[in-house]
Structure 1
């Protein structure tokens, strides 16, 4: 049980870690060193990382490799000039064996000093941003960005002008300057221990922002009376502040601003502090930058709705409807290639030792197995949804790390089924008495359930997407109930098989027959495990498993399975088979027939029955069927973005960028057909093979629409000027897939693929979006309704 709790704790810690950004591990301090009346100043930036974290120099380690350097960019440099390079304090250089370059970094605290020449006679605020990376000693690195603001005095300031105490460091006394009195020295020392942090948020009102100030003092300093802190704008600034009010969040004010630029401002903060038993008044100036505004996030998207002819009158589902729908989705998920092959693995797992285990103990373990599945799905799934948002299901289903891991898991199980080794619990657990075995057995059962959940979630991610989307928008009860119902359907057959494992063991000649089943399942595991490798291959464009290679491997695997069934191949642990029994003969005939069915796929046959399991036709190097059918010529002139690595099926000449598609639609006076799809989307391939291939559907798509395929799992990183912060989860969207998925969620409140949407040139819906449905007539009706509404609206 301790191991189980430790694993859960680790999962939660990992979830919390990835939910945080680099700014959660780094504090920034911004001050200005400037002598009264001087036309030069030094901008001082201090970075303080948490224990065990470190940051990097502003000088890149290498042109082509190494960590991201700390880079400073300035919003407006018209009032100053940068002088010389950045001076760095607290850094050390060492050779990084992993990145194979010399890396300059700081541990815990690093200081950047940038000298400037002042070109303004008025006081001003310098604003800008820092892009940086921090890394944990264990090797995990997180990129981040931080806005900054510096308050600088104008050139005409004289020595009699009081400088900003918060921004002016303690100076060493000189002959020309009298030594400061003790009281003033005490005030200066307190200034070094008192800091203010601020955050600015957008509000629902246009051109209004909320600013929250929070003190971040050293332990030896405290505010005497927080209610008497005085905060007001200092100097000229287009920003208007309401009165700051003390709240549980901090000191809050509303900023009003009209204009396109994002200026800075200076706040004067006055308060009484207690430092080592002595009370004094501190007055500071805090420069702020409106550019540091946190944009609207979570639940502020406005999904499009269709209310025209043929609109679906959908109402919010009740909890009972949600439970039933999620339960049915779970039953459907049992038929996916990730879940179904796990059933015999479970039977094999629980059959070990079943003869020496009491029936009550077997039922107890089976129920624990079922409850483990439900608990893991419900608790972990809901936490993942809340922490990461709906996009995490897409990540798990498409990222190369989980897919390669699942591919390896399937290969390991396949090798075990073929007799290379046997997967079993440690012998110490098997040989103990029932009471002792319970403790070890619980851990084994839990890990078996965890393996099932992890492997199945890759395939079922799109199915549970509609459940997770409610969590991303702030729902809690809905995803919990939905995940419980979904996992209950998944757990039910596994639990029944676990309770009655001897359903298989009591069959005639159970030993030889069951071993043959395991071998056949080993071949099936190899074939189905290739799906995970294919998903990673398609998503990252590795070119390892193109369609013809994938089909060739399947032909080889199932041919070997056929030879095994008719006795031409024998493994070391197989029983002697003097003759082929009739059931095995019929199974062999079925397998060889399947191989014959696969063979035309090598020259481009669509193989509609397997469309969801095979790579798309666009990856086929020798597509004879495509050459015969030809390609679509209904496309605007000019290069199609991303067409070198993204493709549409059946020779449709469409687009992969929505703006490009809209421009073409305006030029050709056609509606836009959006296909939200993915490289690893099984149902997308089925729709393309079974529905899009219909001659009438294909004619409508080619001639009546401008088609754009938005891949929601593509990992291609876009240029930095195309990155943006999501309104759904507040995270930076950098890849083609992330931006397409974010667009789908924000505009259509859906994150599952496929999703088909028709829009006019103003971006309005022409029909209710449709999802996975292999009924060709329904899809024709959807397309014809969109065409009719488009013409009627004109």
Structure 2
């Protein structure tokens, strides 16, 4: 059964990125609700799948796509007020955009109140909204509506229809016909001049314009050709799961080295081997003990998931109150590791469980022994577990705490089983000593450093500006310099044991072990590495922890990759004349992972050189709100859609030509619009990204 569950989880992890690209996770229905003889509401009801959220209406400029209502036609009716969001609206601080955003999960409801001004009315338009999950953002999407009917004109609002048609307000824009020369073009074809209706394939140009024909070829679908190169060059979801598991496993290994766990290992293993008198049964009991440890900590992860749920875990990454709480919790843990006090659970708890274990037999007795270990070792493992749960919870993944605890528990339980199978190894175990206290103090410094990460989120949320990037880096430099000083022996804490010579005198100038020397070397080097960041160096190693570069007051860094073109057809035509391959960057102003890729990957010098010198970079924002000269109707998957904005046009290009609609999405093309390599999504592996670019260049030269 466990193998089946594991297989299903791995299958889901691998399928998720591809599913997000082809699947529409939010579906809307539109209805007309009568309020009185002279008023009614247009109600949009959306159902979002688990993990997805729809942004509300009150999103500031520069943030993700807000929900807006747009009117193409209004006859005998006028809007009253603005579009409103109803239901449970969450608010959380977004660290990337530096602002608080509001969104809805599961069910999103928007309503627009309308007033009838004539005996008969008709209204036509669309809702535009944005939706994201933790890995991808969908392009801005339209929900069309058309309503007509009759009613009683509101008193004092019987305005002549011709006059109303001439009025234009911010809330009720009237789309006017542009001159034919400015009409929208898809694939180089003047859709107004030709009377063309765009379908799933690229529109065919009418005879008489070779330039239009050549341009239209750029829009020819290449979904099959792209698939022939293989799957997407990234698998962000699976990497996230494995990183969480490895983080938990590493935490478990560190917990083994603490004074609360390490001395218990030989005592527990010897107990099992002696109790049974049978080595095989002793190994089985020790293995059961290890499995019980795994079950206990995995249950802890499930409890955390059950308490918070998907929506709360998603909010943890940006919510200011939660981040302040996490910061304070990590500061308390750090003080405990420094020796200020000891965090322990009530002794009555462990005593009660221990007594129960002695009075029972069989598997229950072994399980209770494992539970006693969890309680007794809490003073050492509690801070590690606390940090682990904080870190994986803020990843926004619903199963992250459980997977993190699985890794932690496996690392913690493994020695009990291995030493029971190979008892001779017990003799080679390092003896308990002051080195275990060194591990605790080192963890205290790390807890202190990560506490600042969460404080920086709250600082951005409230606009305190006490922890801008320079201040954050300065504190981290001091923390890791002090850690190096402790490891080298220049700094000591109250619970550090004194060392004595043969006469009983305290040794002041004691020798530093080789292990502590190398650890100090790493700590000092890391502190020095961060110093250039005070002048604007990107510091890719800590880009996920430090405040954004926008908070830096003094910045000398100018190595920024910029797009050569923001228009697909113009960029392709330029690349054809220059004889260079093209990189298409489908992005969005509200795409969080797009910004992460630009900071963590594009900032690499080798990546920047290849993109700027060897490719023509075309960046297309799928949430660009600039209006097209005139709406373009397309038929896609049997449904008619209307492209009204530049972003609509680029989103349609991504769907129709490449069969994808999630961002970030990178694709390499030759001068005819044919792919040169598999596509690439969110994956911060610089070497993999370089290979992606170089493979495209190689294939282009071979052509």
Q: TM-score, normalised by structure 2?
A: 0.48
Per chain length, whose mean CA-contact separation is higher, i.e. which structure has more relative contact order (CA < 8 Å, sep 6+)? 2
Q: Normalising to structure 1: TM-score of the pair?
A: 0.44
Rg larger for: 1
Which structure has more helix as a fraction of its residues? 2
